[in-house]
Structure 1
Amino acid sequence: MSTASGAGTSTVHFVRHGEVHNPNRVLYGRLPGFGLSELGHRMAQGIAEHFALRAEAGRPVHHLVSSPLQRAQETIAPLAERLELPVSIEPRVIEAENRFEGMSDIRSHLRDPRIWPWLRNPLRPSWGEPYAAQASRMLAAAKDLSDNAVAEHGDGAEVVVVSHQLPIWVTRLWAEERPLAHDPRRRECSLTSITSLHIGPDGVEALSYEEPNQELLRDAVALPGA
């Protein structure tokens, strides 16, 4: 692990957003207008409760950050209200670009020869933003957020960032020094899960993962583009 940070230690918690209302099962990617479902709002409340309890136990959150997309902002809103903190919008933690965005029933489209060039290199991947580019922008954002939090609040500062599954997952793969190419079915990054980067003066020193809303996951719909 590398990507050196400033002096002091911090934790940047990457939270995946809650379940999205998507009855047509569209791969929504960066499209506007996709907000949380009723279950997703309950998940957002669960995340607010989780971090509020940590604050009461002496582990306060100092900065709140969100992807520009609606589902991320709706996920962090209850936490912002609970902690009485403002939310900063960070474009670098947005969902990955994807040429299949806006489509549903992706398998049926795979029979169209016009899109076959998109599939020429699944290791990059050729149908969207390269995995390496996603990890790079997420890590750059994490470094800046860490440096700012430590500068303002000192050693042990904590930041919560609501982002999206794929960028969070490839950032974890990088931190664990694993190949970025992967099977999407094997991602460990459930709805409103928390992937935490523990950052020291020399960069990312450790990583942890937890699922505060595990009891709600059994009722969630597996949606594309989440």
Structure 2
Amino acid sequence: MSVLATVHLVRHGEVFNPDRVLYGRLPGFGLSDLGLQMADGVAEWFVERANRIQRQPAIVAASPLQRAKQTAAPIAAAFGKKLETEPNLIEAVNAFEGMSNVAATLKSTPSLWPKLRNPARPSWGEPYIQQVQRMVEVVQRSRDVAVDTLGPGAEAILVSHQLPIWVTRLATEGRPLMHDPRRRECTLTSVTSLVFEDGRERPRVEYHEPNAHLLAQAANLPGA
């Protein structure tokens, strides 16, 4: 089965966040030193892939948030590409944004409990289905532009955030969008690849961890 295009969804690297804040869309949360090392590592992974398959990406784009753009910058530079900004790749809205130690805060703050009434939506933030819709719009547009630019087999690289990437994968695989955040397979600078093939209605999913050797050193908040 021939590959029409591959769109890679990359999660950003580790963020400097000593207070373990659920930072969401808050400004001022850039990559840590380890996160910058991760960004360089995922760029090297894509260069090695490009050399192996003899094909460079047509597009490198990122969420407008600092941590995503910092992760994408070495990838774009490695291929001499202009880094594009895609607003629809942004992190999900979350009512608990800005909190640290979220579980304990929720337990001790009854006024916040109504936000937990419907985890299937979820009631504390941007509905999962809306995240999927905006992510899929960028994926499909990037796929089409990549193919128009470089022909069949073209690739695009999109740097985003854990939750939007994960629910996009769930939707692609036909799984329920409601899930346990602790069970997401989407580590820092992981690559979730959507492989579009002729004759298949849905893309095939591949998953890679270019910086697996660094993950034990990293601070990691679900959804961050």
TM-score category of the 2 structures, normalised to the smaller one:
over 0.9
1:204 to 191, 202, 209: 202
What is the aligned partner in structure 2 of residue 108 from structure 1? 104
2:159 corresponds to 1:152? no
1:88-115: CA deviations, max 9, x gaps?
1001111000000011111232121211
CA distance in structure 2 between the partners assigned to 1:143 and 1:134 by the alignment = 14
CA distance in structure 2 between the partners assigned to 1:92 and 1:204 by the alignment = 21
1:82: Cα distance to partner? 1.4
2:6 corresponds to 1:21? no
1:205: Cα distance to partner? 2.6
Mapping for residues 16-165 of structure 1, pairs under 5 Å: 16-57=11-52, 58-110=54-106, 111-165=108-162
The one-letter amino acid paired with 1:89 is T
Q: Which has the larger displacement, 202-211 or 117-126?
A: 202-211
Q: Which has the larger displacement, 83-92 or 104-113?
A: 104-113
DSSP-derived class of the 1:13 partner: strand
CA distance in structure 2 between the partners assigned to 1:22 and 1:90 by the alignment = 24
1:144: Cα distance to partner? 0.7
What is the aligned partner in structure 2 of residue 4 from structure 1? none
Question: Are the equivalent residues in 1 in contact too, given 2:63–2:160 (CA < 8 A)?
Answer: yes
DSSP-derived class of the 2:219 partner: coil
CA distance in structure 1 between the partners assigned to 2:35 and 2:201 by the alignment = 33
The one-letter amino acid paired with 2:215 is L
1:56: Cα distance to partner? 1.6
1:59: Cα distance to partner? 3.0
In structure 2, list runs of 5 or more residues that go unmatched. none
1:62: Cα distance to partner? 1.4
CA distance in structure 2 between the partners assigned to 1:137 and 1:62 by the alignment = 21
1:203: Cα distance to partner? 4.9
CA distance in structure 1 between the partners assigned to 2:104 and 2:216 by the alignment = 28
What is the aligned partner in structure 1 of residue 213 from structure 2? 215
2:169 to 147, 172, 181: 172
DSSP-derived class of the 2:113 partner: helix
1:200: Cα distance to partner? 4.0
1:51: Cα distance to partner? 0.7
Cα-Cα RMSD: 1.3
TM score, norm. by length of structure 1? 0.93
The one-letter amino acid paired with 1:137 is R
Determine what percentage of the aligned residue pairs are the same residue: 56
Question: Are the equivalent residues in 1 in contact too, given 2:43–2:74 (CA < 8 A)?
Answer: yes
CA distance in structure 2 between the partners assigned to 1:205 and 1:19 by the alignment = 28
Question: Are the equivalent residues in 1 in contact too, given 2:181–2:223 (CA < 8 A)?
Answer: no
1:224: Cα distance to partner? 4.9
1:201-225: CA deviations, max 9, x gaps?
6653311001011001111112354
Q: Which has the larger displacement, 173-182 or 78-87?
A: 78-87
